[in-house]
């Protein structure tokens, strides 16, 4: 996702560029980083391997991921030093972002082109010339398009997958970066030795302060701040849970999907996307809906409370009430959703499921 905000970059472009040069000369710090040789611990590789256990991931996807991880480490230098200032952190983030761009990683334009998993993100796209032109012209790709290589395939990589890959590059170097889940968005955050933090937003190719996101997200951010959950840095297990849930949501086998999504909730109990997706599965599958309708309602409420910015979560809540036989409440929620959100891409689905609820049927995708 890209966000429209007044871009208050933490440091000036001039300072960042100067530190890129300094970073390449390994003079921004004095303590060298020990590069890990244990690639198995890298989260991106772990998630791609997990995905491959449930559905076939082409070998070239794994090869590409390993190549990019290696390129990211190489561009920083195996003796690179962990950033100590915001300028140094942003400089390193730019260098790694450039590696992704040089491999034709572009932000997708359409919601339906957003990858759920690394396997999907690392699958090359067979695009028409006019589709490529549109991607390059997309505002979010203004900087990335400078590195476009017409001899290579294009990959559509969203904020989640790009942030995961960048995280794993820095993870290999032993640097303290963490992922942050924002409303319908994800970005990378550095935790610097002096206790300060600095954000890097791959989708927008910029560094924003937390307050910038707060102004962009409005009421949702205000509610999350009250809950104490707004823009929290995720632990590695919470990050793992986020991506396990996305893998589970992408599977056709409902039992396997359910198992992974339940695991994701245990690891990341406050992740609104995974809460919503598991609630949807429980509420809409005839094999689960009778036994798990009350659980679906609970999960859907937690998802809405965690992040109301994505109105589709209210649709899931309505479907959960329908599964529990509370048809009137389900109809009321669905009608309110339709009235307020006629322009969304989910509008036709809202209408279809309202008719199903009125007929006392379970919702369907």
Average pLDDT, the chain: 87
Q: Is residue 293 a contact partner of residue 283, using CB atoms and an 8 Å limit?
A: yes
Please classify residue 25 by burial: count the beta carbons closer than 10 Å to its beta carbon, then call 0-12 exposed, 13-18 middle and 19+ buried.
exposed
Model's pTM, two decimal places?
A: 0.87
In this prediction, residue 306 carries a pLDDT of 81
In this prediction, residue 338 carries a pLDDT of 84
In this prediction, residue 184 carries a pLDDT of 80
Q: Give the pLDDT band of residue 107 (cuts 50, 70, 90).
A: very high
- Crossing angle between the packed helical segments 312-323 and 286-306, to the nearest 10 degrees: 140
Query: Any residues with CB less than 8 A from the CB of 306 and at least 6 apart, and which?
Result: 224, 227, 229, 270, 271, 272, 275
pLDDT at 290 over 60: yes
pLDDT tens per residue across span 200-237: 999 999 999 988 887 777 666 667 777 667 788 999 99
Give the torsion sign (CA, 336, 341, 347, 349): negative
pLDDT tens per residue across span 176-202: 999 998 878 899 999 999 999 999 999
In this prediction, residue 297 carries a pLDDT of 98
In this prediction, residue 235 carries a pLDDT of 95
In this prediction, residue 93 carries a pLDDT of 98
Q: Which domains does the chain have, with CATH numbers?
A: 13-227 (no CATH), 236-358 (1.25.40.10)
Q: Give the pLDDT band of residue 343 (cuts 50, 70, 90).
A: low
């Amino acid at each position: 996702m890209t966000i429209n905000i007044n871009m208050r970059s933490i440091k000036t472009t001039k300072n960042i560029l100067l530190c890129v040069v300094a970073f390449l000369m390994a003079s921004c710090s004095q303590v060298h980083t020990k590069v890990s040789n244990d690639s198995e611990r890298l989260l991106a590789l772990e998630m791609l391997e997990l995905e491959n256990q449930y559905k076939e991931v082409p070998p070239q996807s794994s090869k590409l991921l390993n190549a990019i991880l290696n390129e990211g480490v190489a561009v920083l230098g195996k003796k690179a030093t962990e950033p100590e200032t915001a300028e140094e952190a942003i400089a390193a983030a730019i260098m790694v972002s450039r590696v992704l761009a040089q491999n034709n990683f572009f932000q997708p334009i359409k919601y339906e082109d957003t990858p759920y998993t690394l396997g999907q993100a690392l699958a090359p796209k067979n695009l028409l010339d006019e589709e490529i032109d549109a991607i390059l012209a997309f505002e979010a790709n203004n900087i990335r398009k400078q590195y476009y290589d017409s001899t290579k395939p294009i990959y559509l990589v969203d904020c989640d997958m790009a942030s995961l890959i960048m995280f794993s590059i820095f993870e290999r170097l032993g640097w303290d970066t963490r992922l942050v889940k924002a409303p319908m968005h994800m970005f990378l955050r550095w935790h610097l030795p002096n206790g300060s933090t600095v954000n890097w937003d791959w989708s927008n190719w910029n560094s924003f302060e937390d307050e910038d996101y707060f102004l962009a997200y409005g009421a949702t951010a205000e509610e999350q701040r009250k809950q104490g959950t707004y823009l929290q840095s995720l632990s590695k297990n919470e990050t793992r849970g986020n991506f396990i849930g996305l893998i589970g949501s992408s599977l056709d086998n409902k039992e396997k999907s359910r198992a992974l999504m339940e695991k994701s909730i245990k690891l990341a109990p406050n992740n609104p996307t995974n809460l919503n997706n598991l609630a949807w599965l429980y509420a809409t599958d005839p094999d689960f809906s009778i036994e798990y309708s009350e659980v679906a309602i609970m999960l859907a409420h937690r998802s809405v409370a965690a992040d109301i910015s994505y109105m589709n979560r209210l649709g899931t809540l309505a479907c959960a009430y329908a599964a529990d036989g509370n048809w009137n409440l389900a109809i009321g929620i669905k009608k309110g959703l339709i009235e307020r959100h006629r322009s969304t891409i989910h509008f036709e689905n809202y209408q279809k499921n309202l008719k199903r609820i009125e007929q006392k049927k379970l919702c369907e995708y």
